[in-house]
Every structure is written in C-alpha cells, then in structure tokens.
C-alpha cells in the first residue's frame, strides 16, 4: 500500500521562518555590536586593523592617503563595542568611518577652511523653532510643500493643513519653500518664529504649438500634410485696407493678385497658377469651417483672427474639386473659456494738404470758344466733355 505525502506546512516550518525573520534585521547591526578585545602597544595601524577584522568579521576599505601605514598606535580594550573601539583608534588620526553591511569605509575628515572657521566663531546667533503655514493664491492650505533651510540639509514637509515646524534654526537663516508647479520663494528669518506664506503658481513657458486650420479642423503644424501658408493677426494688420484680400498681398508666397477689374474679386487671385481647365479658376473661400459664397469685400477685417492658405492638391481631400485652385481659410475672433472680456479699438486716418480755395482752377468761356474755333478750322472732330482746366493749361494748348 502506497503512502501519500503532503506538502502542508508544519509547525516546525513556521517556527523556522519566524526565526529567520527575527534574525535577519539583527544581522545588519551584528558587526557594529561586535565585542573587541585588544592589547597592543606601539603597533602599526595596519596590524591593528587586521586584528579588528579577524574579531569582527568586517573588512576595511580606504584609499592610499587616508591613513599612514607606518603610524604606530597603542590600544587596550576588553570586550568593547566595535564603534567605540573605532572612535578611540581613528579620531586621533582624523579619520572617520562608515558601516556598509560587512564593510567599514574609512575616509579623511575634511578640514574646515579658515573662512568657515571664522564664520563658526562669529555665528553667535541662538537657535529658534520656526513654525508656520503654507497656502496657495486662493488661501487653501498646501500639502507636501518642502520647507528647507538654505545651505543646510534641514527640511520639513507641510501636513494636511499646510502647517510645518523646524527646530534648531539660526535666527539669520533663510527658509526656502518649494513645490511642483509653484514658484520657489525665500524668506529670511529675523526675529519672527511664525512664518505664513502664500505660494504663486509657476507659469511655465512651454513651446508654443502652432496650429493649422484646414477649414474643417485645427491640427498641429507637424501633422499637417501638403503646402500651406499662415498669416497671423499681427501680419494681417500690418497693411491698412478695408478689404480682407488686399491685406494678403505680399504676405503669402504663391498668392498672385492679377488686379483685374473683375466683379468677383476672388477671380483676381491665383494660388500657384491655374490648376483647372473648364472648371472654376478662382480659389475657394472658407470662413469658420463654412464655404463663403458672398462678396469678400463685405467681410470685416477687424473680425479676422488669422488666415491660412492651402496651396496644393492636399486640400482637395477635404473640400473636393472646388479646392483645385487652392483654399483661403479665414478664422474669425471668438471668445475663450475662463478668459476676461477684451475690447479693442481700431481707427484709420488719412493726411493730405489743406486745399487753397483762392486758386480754383478754371478757364473763361471765351477761351473755350476760341479753342473750338481753332480746332474746327483744322477740320478736326472733337468729342468735347465739359471739364474745368486752368489758364496755365489753356496757354499750353494754344501753343500746341
């Protein structure tokens, strides 16, 4: 008959695991709490360190210039903790130590400069305890704000109510308040032990994302396909005219104004030439995502925010065959969410010379009759339109 074995944990296994968990944290301090017994007189420091390694199980690590290998030391200890032995042995040599697992790292104590020592002597200010509250611009308490002392590693974090407290602060110290999304602020402590401060939100100068309007949607410039040209509001208002299309002259590469006397002003414009044969030759005009069939002269230039000119066949994928000769997309000004109302004023004026009414250009009727007789004697047909000419011009006509 076969016996069945199960893998169910027994009480012995639980006890073994519990003993391991209890023993593991103590291993980190085992080396530091090792008891050392030494009785050495005028012995090189390196031999003393080797003796400590044998008893503690630790290993010393140090650079060549940290200790003098030929230095002689004397030490006598009996069952003394390792840290006290190292203090007695290394302090006279101006060497400090640090435990790292089973390693003991030795390094030379940095000597303070003369200037630091002078400031340490002059610094007679007493230590104070500083407390306070940190709020945002709306008066709400801020959680997690770092409050530190400038030039020192002392800091505190505000609690749920925005309160903080620092101990052993010099009376002439400077507090630094920092938090993500807010501007760092510094306050110098004088005689005050209570500091309440309001942090300002940081306005980050992000890279401006240029948006292209196709008349159907607005997309980032790097995602736009095809050729296009943009005229922003500043460039658009650089030229003074009551006509929107006239302001595009010399501002859009590839846009040509033929300056014909056509009744439909759009027929006077070509974008990179004519791309159709029998179809419409004028560009397509789109205002705020809708095709505009009216007279462009009726569009108020003060309502225009920016203009985008689509110059190649990629526009046909949006607007079809009517976009064969290009598309002029006009975006008008609109209100923005959470923005205050703004009012702008625009005025145009013209300066000309003041008219002199004392010298009105005119010609006597007798001179006109003489001129007609002269022309009739030469058998010349004259289609005469009543005009006003000056005496000076009349004299020129007689000479001719």
The domains found in the chain, sorted by start residue, are 27-108 (3.55.50.30), 124-198 (2.60.40.4130), 211-332 (2.170.130.10), 365-399 (no CATH)
Q: Does 116 score more than 80 pLDDT?
A: no
- The alpha carbon dihedral of 230, 233, 238, 244 has a sign of positive
Give the pLDDT mean for 204-211.
Answer: 56
Query: Contact, 218 vs 211, CB < 8 A?
Result: yes
37-41, 189-193, 291-295, 386-390: least confidently modelled range: 386-390
The set of residues, in sequence order, having a beta carbon less than 8 Å from that of 219 and lying 6+ positions away, is: 211, 212
Helix (H, G, I), strand (E, B) or coil at 233: helix
Give the pLDDT mean for 251-255.
Answer: 87
pLDDT band (50, 70, 90) for residue 180: confident
Structure tokens at 137: 């611009």
- Calculate the alpha carbon distances from 80 to 25, 86, 188 in Å: 22, 10, 47
Give the pLDDT mean for 117-138.
Answer: 70
Pairing relationship of beta strands 284-287 and 327-332 according to DSSP bridges = parallel
User: Could you count the other beta carbons within 10 Å of the beta carbon of residue 89?
Assistant: 21
Q: Is the pTM here over 0.85, yes or no?
A: no
- The alpha carbon of 4 is separated from its chain's Cα centroid by a whole number of angstroms, namely 70
Nearest to 86 by CA among 45, 136, 26, 126: 45
User: Could you count the other beta carbons within 10 Å of the beta carbon of residue 152?
Assistant: 12
What CA–CA distance (Å, rounded) separates 166 from 44? 46
The predicted pLDDT at position 204 comes to 58
Pairing relationship of beta strands 304-310 and 228-231 according to DSSP bridges = antiparallel
When mean pLDDT is compared over 9-13, 44-48, 152-156, 287-291, the highest value belongs to 287-291
For the chain, the first-to-last Cα distance in angstroms comes to 147
Query: Contact, 323 vs 285, CB < 8 A?
Result: no
Give the pLDDT mean for 117-129.
Answer: 57
Q: What share of the chain is helix, strand, coil (3-state, %, to 5)?
A: 25, 30, 45
The predicted pLDDT at position 243 comes to 87
The predicted pLDDT at position 399 comes to 61
User: Could you count the other beta carbons within 10 Å of the beta carbon of residue 299?
Assistant: 19
Query: Contact, 313 vs 274, CB < 8 A?
Result: no
Q: Does 69 score more than 80 pLDDT?
A: no
151 vs 19: which has the higher pLDDT: 151
pLDDT digits (tens, 9 = 90+) for 309-321: 998 888 888 888 8
pLDDT digits (tens, 9 = 90+) for 32-62: 567 888 888 888 888 888 888 888 888 888 8
75-84, 113-122, 193-202, 271-280: least confidently modelled range: 113-122
The predicted pLDDT at position 14 comes to 54
Give the pLDDT mean for 369-391.
Answer: 55
The predicted pLDDT at position 328 comes to 92
Q: What is the residue-averaged pLDDT of the chain?
A: 77
The predicted pLDDT at position 234 comes to 87
The predicted pLDDT at position 89 comes to 85
Nearest to 289 by CA among 215, 234, 235: 215
46-50, 218-222, 258-262, 358-362: least confidently modelled range: 358-362
Give the pLDDT mean for 260-265.
Answer: 78
What CA–CA distance (Å, rounded) separates 287 from 59? 80
Q: Does 374 score more than 50 pLDDT?
A: yes
């Amino acid at each position: 008959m076969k016996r069945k074995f199960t893998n169910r944990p027994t009480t012995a296994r639980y006890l073994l695991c519990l003993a391991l968990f209890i023993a593991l944290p103590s291993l980190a301090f085992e080396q530091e709490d090792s008891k050392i017994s030494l009785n050495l007189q005028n012995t090189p420091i390196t031999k003393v360190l080797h003796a400590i390694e044998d008893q503690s199980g630790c290993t010393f690590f140090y650079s060549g210039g940290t200790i003098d290998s030929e230095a002689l030391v004397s030490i006598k200890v009996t069952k003394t903790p390792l840290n006290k032995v190292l203090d007695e042995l290394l302090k006279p040599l101006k060497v400090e130590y640090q435990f790292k697992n089973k390693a003991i790292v030795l390094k030379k104590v940095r000597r303070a400069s003369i200037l630091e020592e002078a400031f340490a002597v002059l610094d007679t200010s007493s230590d104070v305890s500083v407390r306070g509250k940190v709020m945002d611009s709306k008066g709400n308490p801020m959680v997690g704000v770092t409050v530190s002392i400038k030039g020192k590693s002392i800091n505190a974090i505000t609690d749920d109510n925005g309160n903080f407290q620092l101990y052993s602060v010099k009376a002439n110290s400077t507090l630094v308040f920092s938090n993500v999304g807010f501007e760092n602020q510094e306050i110098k402590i004088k005689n005050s032990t209570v500091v309440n401060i309001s942090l300002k939100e940081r306005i980050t100068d992000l890279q401006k994302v240029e948006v292209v309007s196709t008349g159907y949607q607005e997309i980032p410039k790097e995602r736009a396909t095809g050729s296009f040209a943009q005229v922003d509001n500043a460039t658009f208002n650089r030229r003074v005219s009551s006509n929107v299309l006239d302001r595009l002259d010399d501002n859009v590469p590839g846009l040509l104004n033929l300056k014909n006397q056509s009744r439909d002003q759009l027929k006077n414009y070509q974008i990179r030439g004519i791309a159709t044969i029998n179809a419409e030759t004028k560009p397509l005009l789109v205002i705020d995502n809708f095709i505009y069939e009216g007279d462009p002269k009726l569009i108020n230039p003060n309502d225009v925010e920016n203009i985008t000119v689509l110059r190649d066949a990629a526009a046909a994928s949006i607007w079809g065959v009517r976009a064969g000769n290009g598309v002029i997309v006009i975006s008008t000004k609109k209100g923005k969410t959470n923005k205050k109302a703004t009012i702008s004023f625009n005025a145009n004026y013209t300066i000309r010379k003041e008219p002199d009414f004392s010298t009105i250009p005119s010609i006597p009727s007798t001179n006109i009759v003489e001129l007609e007789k002269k022309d009739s004697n030469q058998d010349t047909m004259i289609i005469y339109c009543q005009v006003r000419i000056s005496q000076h011009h009349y004299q020129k006509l007689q000479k001719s």
